[in-house]
Amino acid sequence: MGSNEVTEVGRAGDDLARDLARIAVTAGSPVAVIFAAGCAPTWKGDGSPVTDADLAAEGVIYDRLSDGFPGMPIVSEERIAAGDAPMIGPRFALVDPLDGTREFIAGRNEFTVNVAIVEQGRPVAGAIYAPMLQRLWYGGAAAYTCPVAPGADLPEVDAMRRINVRSASPGHLVALISRSHIDPRTEAYLQGLTVAERRPMGSSLKFCVIAEGQADLYPRFGVTCEWDTAAGCAILTAAGGSIVDPEGRPLRYGDAHGGFRHAGFVALGDLRFKTVAEGDLR
């Protein structure tokens, strides 16, 4: 990020989100190169995989955020796994440098680079970039998408497509589910809804699909980490949707004492069903 692109952290909105979008697209370049060349994963202490692409993207993002937002704490998946947990304040960045590592290892293109900024427990700007799909989504005051190649400059704002969620139609619901993670509670929850279609999909793409109005909900009641959802939360909220906890409350971010974890969530397009976790969406 050049000096003329530096945005004050307190200025939440589309400009801030575009700054994060530039960072995500830049970080997507080494991810695409490593994906094309192939690489073997290693395994972290919790049994999850990590690749050279995770580490390369994290390095790019960390450097760009540190340059553009001096002094802002950065909470990033791989640094946390390595024991580098910064002290956070009311404003900090959440980074998942390669969301969908299992998809990456399997040779599927459904993986993303995720960057978000949180203020007072709420993601106020976020960007999700899918390098192999060459597609970017970002959200601040509003949500946008556009095609862009890894490492390329962003199109002008007027070339972006603004996106919005759709109204849910009970009896015709499209539910997105994880390719790699499906827990019994999530399965039981889906069984209690009138879902016309279940669509498996990897990584944070699920939040983007709902934000574009192409699906209605994404439930996941297993434990997740804040960096898994922060960018998607910013984008989905900007598009008119929300991510709620199992009691129907908007997710909060910044739980350092809890290891930056959430005990499940439901991503929603239609806010008429804020208590969807209690089974209202039928």
End-to-end CA distance of the chain: 46
Per the domain annotation, does 137 fall within a domain? yes
Q: In terms of domains, do 28 and 134 share one?
A: yes
Q: In terms of domains, do 129 and 218 share one?
A: no
CATH number for the domain harbouring residue 73: 3.30.540.10
Structure tokens at 80: 């946390």
Per the domain annotation, does 61 fall within a domain? yes
The least confident of 115-119, 218-222, 270-274 is 270-274
Q: In terms of domains, do 156 and 220 share one?
A: no
Domain boundary (107, 140, 163) is at 163
Per the domain annotation, does 29 fall within a domain? yes
Number of domains in the chain: 2
Indicate if the pLDDT at residue 40 is higher than 60: yes
Q: In terms of domains, do 159 and 115 share one?
A: yes
Predicted confidence at residue 1, as pLDDT, reads 41
The least confident of 16-30, 127-141, 155-169, 176-190 is 176-190
Structure tokens at 18: 């575009």
* Residue 227, φ and ψ in degrees, nearest 5: -70, -15
Domain boundary (163, 198, 217) is at 163
Per the domain annotation, does 168 fall within a domain? no
